[in-house]
Amino acid sequence: MTESVTFERSHSIMIDAPPRDVLDYVSNPNSWPEWIAASHEMDSPNHPLQVGEAFHEKWHIRSGEVQLDWVVTEREEGRLWIAKTSTVFIGDIIARYDVELVDGQCRYARTLINPARPKLPTDEMVRRIDDEAQISLENIKRNVEARSSPLFGSA
């Protein structure tokens, strides 16, 4: 049996928008090319996806392009969204999006999990993951805040 390792990386940001608006935005895969540089073509229904819905993503990696076939495995309205895909190069990828209200803002956390990766990523790979995640989070914040009404701005 081939040995594998679990790898998990989480990043978060505060967004001035209701948690439901944030989760609805990030759980609609058609928004991904707006905030994830590697995601450049989607075949997905154009709405926040529910449990059991599937979508396809063309993802650009250093060695070329790959097709990722995703399925939504969990959703809790206004709180949580999880989708899973499988790859030949790093095994399964699980994307987990959590939102919660904290001090009048939405805390959005994006966690990527490889439950059975062939080997741990190098320090350079982790730095790239972190750098790309920071850009993605800033893109999400900018896009959602531009589209959303202020959290407590109207009565």
The rounded distance, in Å, linking the Cα atoms of 72 and 154 is: 34
The model's pTM: 0.90
Query: Domains in the chain, ordered, with CATH?
Result: 5-147 (3.30.530.20)
110 close to 137: Cβ distance less than 8 angstroms? yes
Distances (CA, A) of 132 to 35, 107, 128: 10, 19, 6
pLDDT tens-digit readout, 9-63: 999 999 999 999 999 999 999 999 999 888 878 999 999 999 999 999 988 777 7
Token pair recorded at residue 132: 């790309």
